[in-house]
Amino acid sequence: MTDLSAFPITQKWPAQHPERLQLYSLPTPNGVKVSILLEETGLAYEPHLVRFDTNDQLTPEFLSLNPNNKIPAILDPQGPGGKPLALFESGAILIYLAEKSGQFLPADPARRYETLQWLMFQMGGVGPMFGQLGFFHKFAGKEYEDKRPRDRYVAESRRLLAVLNQRLTGRAWIMGDDYTIADIAILPWVNNLIGFYGAGDLVGYKDFPELARVVQAFLARPAVQRGLGIPARPAGA
């Protein structure tokens, strides 16, 4: 039987199936990127809920796996060379899982790098900008009388949405006919901006019909529908 006892995180989140990949996460836009990819690939995994309302991400056990105290993080008992691998940062995890499964990352070198550039577009632009907009529109920042910070992120979010809308014109997915980790990284953030943050009118989402079309195709995928709720939140959390 696989032994993961050397990893302190398993003391707080014991592995019921230590032979499976262990996922430590929460169904946020960054978290569901990984659960969706795991559902798409069919890799065996065991999800563990990291609750922000109880500051699970700040516990010594979680910090032993990710010193940056962010979700998601994984522990793969069957990493490279058959040795356990602990990994954090959702973009790095997406690349790792795509390579491990041989899916959703093109083998052709040119298309591989083109896919990775769109993954980095999400990591460096879409995620941080949409997240800041969410803070100023939905959370504590909405109480600020000065709306210049919010409007700055509205403008930049609109610009990023326009880039995506242009890219998706005449394409089924970011990379054309191929559904890849670029889509799995980007589209949950767009869905969250419009849904959970409720910023559709603020950013003029109706002006981006090509993007909206692809988001709907993404949300129709069974693996996406499952992954959006993994790990399941407890009632009231």
In this structure, what CATH number is given to the domain that contains residue 158?
A: 1.20.1050.10
Pairwise CA distance, residues 115 & 134, whole Å: 26
Binned average pLDDT, 10 residues per bin, the chain of 237 residues: 90 97 98 98 98 96 98 98 97 98 98 98 98 97 96 98 98 98 98 98 98 98 98 77
CA distances from 108 to 94, 105, 122, 188 (A): 18, 9, 21, 26
Answer whether 193's CB lies under 8 Å from 203's CB: yes
Do 122 and 191 fall into the same domain?
yes
Give the three-state DSSP class for 75: strand
Predicted confidence at residue 236, as pLDDT, reads 59
Report pTM: 0.96
Do 115 and 167 fall into the same domain?
yes
Do 84 and 187 fall into the same domain?
no
Do 165 and 220 fall into the same domain?
yes
Structural domain ending residue among the three candidates 103, 128, 154: 103
- The domain in which residue 64 lies consists of 9-103
Structural domain ending residue among the three candidates 43, 69, 103: 103
Give the three-state DSSP class for 224: helix
Predicted confidence at residue 237, as pLDDT, reads 57
Predicted confidence at residue 64, as pLDDT, reads 97
- Mutual angle of helices 181-194 and 127-137, in 10-degree steps: 10
Number of domains comprising the chain: 2
Classify residue 3: in a domain, yes or no. no
Structural domain ending residue among the three candidates 52, 86, 103: 103
In this structure, what CATH number is given to the domain that contains residue 30?
A: 3.40.30.10
